Chain A
Amino acid sequence: MLSSQQVLDRYFPEVRAWLIQTAAVMDRLDRAAGSPHAVPEDERLIQFYKSLEVLASNDHEADRAKKIQMIFSDQTPAPSRD
């Protein structure tokens, strides 16, 4: 198992790249004709902002990947086979 320092050294470059990529997509949304403010009820945007809240959490027991997976999951009841 790697130390926390080794984890940071090994994975920081790609995390930095992903965060900048995410920021760039948000900027692109803002620049687009019909900016995100024109589709405030789009479920994907709601999920997106909820996920950012999870990312920003400083809770060390957060289990962030699982929480974000559930934000993006359909949790409606299963259909009947009858």
Chain B
Amino acid sequence: MYIIDPHIHCVSRTMDDYERLAMSGVVAVSEPAFWAGYDRSCAQSFVDYFRQLTGFEPGRAASVGIQHYTWICINAKEAENVTLSREVIAEMPKFMDKPNVLGVGEIGLNKNTKNESIIFMEQADFAVKNGHLILIHTPHLMDKYKGTMMILDMLKEVGADPSRVLIDHVEEHTIAPVLDRGFWCGMTLYPVSKMTPHRAADMLENYGGERTCVNAAADWGVSDPFNLHRCTLDFRARGHSEQQLLDIFHNNPVKFFSQSPNFKVKPVVLGEGEEAKPTATRAAEATVR
């Protein structure tokens, strides 16, 4: 089995996680810029964070044969500070041409406020005008539905091409409006409180899996990168083929990310009667790549 985790915060994880991900079939990861768990005091803190995402993390991942890609932005939570946000946005162009950068993300909303909306619009506009892909964070719990609808309206206002935008953390009540408008969606699997691997498998069956990616968004909080693998187990147990698993957990991220010239992983298509290669074989090949 080949897997791409399209949303993981590797800066918060240890080398043990990287190694176990490699041993369990993960060939590439994509890491959006996000909230560190505390508010940074100045724009220079973000510059250092962007250096970590574009310089240090790719090396850690490569040491176990995983390709590391990333996204640059100021996150939804710290976007409440408009002055700081604009200082960070001014620094972003210096990083957009780095070889592992896929686009602008994860921008979005946290509490659906006026300030968050202003900064969302400015970053979305920056992405659209410069031809960057966009990765979007939608709010959690009671704020998700309203925030998702606000984001869809703002993306229309800024003229974003839906095929170049992935809207993440969809759940049962937000997946249809996202897919109906032509956007990509992401489902995020959390150990507690939000989406579970079984519910994600339900939504894959209900909506067909087109333009849909699945991730674990593992970070510094209670999270588990292997929730993604639990979803593959449940999806397989429901009778779906190896190729269907590959299409959702590997080829869909490839299809979306390949709109950036920086993304190098190719789709995997099994021949008739062929099984996905054992993990050890894949890991060895990844290391060679």
Contacts and interface: CB of A to CB of B under 8 A. Distances in A.
Interface of A: 1-2, 10-11, 14, 63, 65-66, 69-70, 72-76, 78-81
A72 B237 contact: no
A47 to B, nearest CB: 9
B118 interface: yes
Interface of B: 112-114, 117-118, 121, 141-146, 149-150, 153, 171-173, 198-199, 202, 205, 237-239
Interface of A is mostly: loop
A69 B114 contact: no
B172 A69 contact: yes
Interface of B is mostly: helix
Given A65-B199, A69-B173, A79 B114 contact: yes
Contacts of B145: 69-70, 73-75
Given A72-B142, A74-B143, A79 B113 contact: yes
A1 B205 contact: yes
A1 B239 contact: yes
A73 B238 contact: no
Contacts of A66: 172-173
A78 B150 contact: yes
B144 A11 contact: no
B203 to A, nearest CB: 9
Please give me the 9 A-B residue pairs with the lowest Cβ-Cβ distance, nearest first. A69-B173, A73-B145, A65-B172, A66-B172, A78-B150, A79-B114, A74-B142, A74-B146, A66-B173
B113 A69 contact: no
Nearest to B240: A1
Nearest to A1: B239
Contacts of B118: 81
B173 A73 contact: yes
A73 B172 CA distance: 12
6 contacts: A2-B238, A66-B172, A73-B146, A79-B112, A81-B114, A81-B121
A11 B238 CA distance: 11
Contacts of B199: 65
A11 to B, nearest CB: 7
A69 B141 CA distance: 9
A14 B234 CA distance: 14
Given A1-B205, A70-B145, A78-B149, 15 more contacts: A2-B239, A69-B145, A72-B141, A72-B142, A73-B142, A73-B173, A74-B112, A74-B145, A75-B145, A76-B146, A78-B112, A79-B113, A79-B117, A81-B114, A81-B117
A70 B150 CA distance: 16
